[in-house]
């Protein structure tokens, strides 16, 4: 597939042509590198186009690099090399430190620690969006015992919840876990996009409200358990993942400090570190 390229590479000897596909000054593009960037799923024609494009981009990149090294002031090039060296060192140190941290870190954050942090800082967790707790059912209008289902859904004691869960395969869709806080905007979007329903905010954002919506073939039962407005304190159930991440990051920082102290202490002990 690359015969057209081989024929054009007059700069190379016969031996070199078996290994390289292009050259820019002292830079050589190997066939192996080119092949790694050409999908095996392409047709012969598309592979040829892809190869030409890659070679052109590779050549442009190398030409820009050589022109930069030739024309940029030596002082700036020295600065760039120093920056590259520091960046490389940072990558090595970070990778090594991260490996040590992960070895000592317990990913599980105790629930009691989360509760304590929330208790001491809950005034700092203000909602920037509206939240609701709700449950809903979507069922066929021709389904039997609709009155019983509606009564169970509204009353929703433990026996009712169990009964509805046992009938779950008979419903078109459902969500009975009304202990979870969800974004009001996501609820509206979900009902509009997946069910074609435009919910009324005054009805949806009213605690203890039961909503019944009828379409051509279906019935929708929605019960709004609780709502929270913007700038109210975020409930712990909603903010728990954020607090867990905060506590996890705090642990990582403490472990990192401990590692740095131990490394210096061990180096001094083993005569690897001296201050003159």
CA separation for the pair 178, 225 (Å, rounded): 7
222 or 200, higher pLDDT: 222
With vertex at residue 182, the alpha carbon angle to CA 177 and CA 184, rounded to the nearest 5 degrees, is 125
- Please check the confidence at residue 11 and state whether its pLDDT lies above 80: no
Question: What percent of the chain clears pLDDT 90, i.e. is strictly above it?
Answer: 61
The pTM (predicted TM-score) of the whole model is 0.62
User: What does the pLDDT average to over 162-183?
Assistant: 93
pLDDT at site 15: 41
pLDDT at site 6: 43
Torsion on CA atoms 162, 163, 164, 170, rounded to nearest 10: 130
* Whether 222 contacts 211, CB under 8 Å: yes
**42-55 residues labelled b (16+ CB within 10 A) or e (exposed):** eeeeebbeebeebb
* Whether 50 contacts 4, CB under 8 Å: no
Q: What is the pLDDT of residues 190-205, one digit of tens each?
A: 989 988 888 888 888 8
pLDDT at site 198: 87
Q: How confident is the model at residue 17 (pLDDT cuts 50, 70, 90)?
A: low
Separate counts of helices (H) and strands (E) for the chain:
11, 7
User: What does the pLDDT average to over 103-110?
Assistant: 76
User: What does the pLDDT average to over 114-126?
Assistant: 92
Q: How confident is the model at residue 65 (pLDDT cuts 50, 70, 90)?
A: very high
The region of weakest confidence among 3-12, 126-135, 169-178, 230-239 is 3-12
User: What does the pLDDT average to over 7-27?
Assistant: 65
pLDDT at site 184: 92
pLDDT at site 5: 45
Question: What percent of the chain clears pLDDT 70, i.e. is strictly above it?
Answer: 93
User: What does the pLDDT average to over 221-241?
Assistant: 93
- Please check the confidence at residue 83 and state whether its pLDDT lies above 90: yes
């Amino acid at each position: 597939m690359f015969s057209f390229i081989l024929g054009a590479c007059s700069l190379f000897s016969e031996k070199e042509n078996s290994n390289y596909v292009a050259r820019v000054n002292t830079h050589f593009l190997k066939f192996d590198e080119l092949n790694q960037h050409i999908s095996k799923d392409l047709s012969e024609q598309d592979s040829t186009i892809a190869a030409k494009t890659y070679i052109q981009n590779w050549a442009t990149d190398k030409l820009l690099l050589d022109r930069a090294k030739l024309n940029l002031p030596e002082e700036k090039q020295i600065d760039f090399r120093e920056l590259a060296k520091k960046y490389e060192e940072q990558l090595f140190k970070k990778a090594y430190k991260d490996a040590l941290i992960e070895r000592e870190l317990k990913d599980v954050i105790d629930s009691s620690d989360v509760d304590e942090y929330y208790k001491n800082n809950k005034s700092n967790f203000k909602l920037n969006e509206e939240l609701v707790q709700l449950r809903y059912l979507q069922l066929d209008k021709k389904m039997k015992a609709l009155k019983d289902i509606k009564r169970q859904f509204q009353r929703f004691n433990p026996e009712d919840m169990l009964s509805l869960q046992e009938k779950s395969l008979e419903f078109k869709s459902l969500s009975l876990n009304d202990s979870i806080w969800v974004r009001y905007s996501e609820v509206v979007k979900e009902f509009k996009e997946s069910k074609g329903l435009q919910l009324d905010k005054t009805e949806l954002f009213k605690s203890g409200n039961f909503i019944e919506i009828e379409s051509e073939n279906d019935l929708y039962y929605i019960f709004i358990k609780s709502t929270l407005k913007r700038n109210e304190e975020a409930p712990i159930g909603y903010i728990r993942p954020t607090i867990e991440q905060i506590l996890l990051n705090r642990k990582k920082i403490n472990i990192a400090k401990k590692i740095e102290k131990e490394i210096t202490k061990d180096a001094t002990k083993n005569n690897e570190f001296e201050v003159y």
